[in-house]
Amino acid sequence: MAVCIAVIAKENYPLYIRSVPTQNELKFHYTVHTSLDVVEEKISAVGKSLGDQRELYLGLLYPTEDYKVYGYVTNSKVKFVIVVDSSNTSLRDNEIRSMFRKLHNSFTDVMCNPFHSPGNTIQSKAFDGIVSGMMVQTASTV
C-alpha cells in the first residue's frame, strides 16, 4: 500500500498530493517533485522512438533508501506518482499497475465532471475515497 499518491499536471505542478499523516509531508512533496526528472526523461525517450504507441505505466522510477517511487503518464501527459515504503516487499508490479489503473479511471471521472475546470486542483470526494483505499491505513499500523 502506498504512503503517498500524487497527480501532477502536464505543466508539472501538483493537482493532488496525499501522503500518510504520520510522516513528514514536505519530504514526500520533495520526493514526488524530484521523481519528475525521471518521468520527463522517460517521456522524452519514448517520444523519440515510437510516437503514440506508448505504455502509460513507467514502472519504478528510482529507488531511495526508504521508498520506491512508481510513475504513470496519461496520454494527456498528466502524471501519477505512487510512493511505496521500501520495506513493503510484498507488493508486486501487477498490484502497482492495477492501483494506477484505478487511479486513472477515477481521474477520468473527475475530468468528466462538467463543474471541474481542468488544470485546477482536484477536489472530489470520490477521488479522495479511491486514494484513501490505496493508502496505508494508518490506524492499523499504529
Partner 1 sequence: MAGSQWELPPELCCRPMAFVALTGLDVVYNAVHRAIWDAFCANRRADRVPISFKVLPGDHEYPKCRTKRTSYEWYIPKGILKTGWMNKHLNLVPALVVLFYELDWDDPQWKEKQSECATKVEIVRTSLQGRNTKVAVVLIQKKTPLPPGEDLVASERAATLCNACDLSGKSLFVLPHTDHLVGYIIRLENAFYEHAQTYYYTEIRRVKSHKEFLNKTTHQLLFVRHQFKIAFFSELKQDTQNALKYYRTAYSLVHELRAHETNMLEIKTMAGFINYKICRLCFQHNTPLDAIAQFRKHIDLCKKKIGSAELAFEHAAWMSKQFQSFGELFDEAIKLGLTAIQTQNPGFYYQQAACYSQDRKQLSQQLCQAGATSPSSEPWDTQTGGLDFYGQRPWRQGHQSIMIHLLLSNIDLTRILKTEMCLCLSLPQQELIIALLSNAVAQFKKYKCPRMKSHLMVQMGEEYYYAKDYTKALKLLDYVMCDYRTERWWGLLTAILTTALRCAYLMASVKDYIIYCMELLGRASTLKEEHKLRIENNLIQVLMNEVPDAEPECDASSDGAARSLWNDRMALAASNELTIEVQDYIPFIQCKAKFQCPSFHVDQPIQLQVFLRADCPHPVSFNKLAVSLSNQEYNQWCVVESAGQECMSLLPGKTKCHNFSFVAKTEDVGKKIELTGMELMLGSDSGRCVFLSWRGAGGDAASTHEALQASRSSRRWGREVEARQELDWDSLTMQHSTMIISRVPKISVQLSHRPPALNNEMYCINLTVQSQEGVVAKGVKLTAGLKPGQDANLGQTTHVSLDGSKVCDDTAPALLPDVPLGDLKPGEKLERCVYVNCVSTGSRVFLFHVAYSIDTTVEGRQIVCKCHKVEKVIIILLTVSTNTPQLQSQLQEVVLQTDECASECFCLRCPALANSNNTVATGQYLISWRRKSSSANSPLIQTVVTLPHVILESVPLYIHAELPSYGRVRESLSVRYHIENRTSLVQEVEMAVEPSDAFMFSGLKQVRLRILPGSEQQMLYNYYPLMAGYQTLPQLNISLPRCLTTNTHTLRRFLPQRIFVKVTASLLSACVNIF
Instruction: Enumerate binding residues for partner 1 (CB under 8 A).
Output: 11-14, 17, 25-26, 29-30, 33-34, 36-38, 41, 61-62, 64-65, 114, 117-120
Question: Considering beta carbons, is residue 17 or 99 the nearer one to partner 1?
Answer: 17
> Is there a contact between 63 and 86 (Cβ–Cβ < 8 Å)?
yes
> Is there a contact between 15 and 94 (Cβ–Cβ < 8 Å)?
no
Question: Considering beta carbons, is residue 63 or 133 the nearer one to partner 1?
Answer: 63
Least Cβ distance, residue 26 to partner 1 (angstroms): 5
Q: Strand runs (DSSP E) across 2-131, as ranges?
A: 2-8, 14-19, 57-63, 67-73, 79-85
Question: Considering beta carbons, is residue 10 or 102 the nearer one to partner 1?
Answer: 10
Question: Considering beta carbons, is residue 64 or 98 the nearer one to partner 1?
Answer: 64
Interaxial angle between packed helices 93-112 and 125-134, expressed in degrees from 0 to 180 and rounded to the nearest 10:
170
Least Cβ distance, residue 35 to partner 1 (angstroms): 8
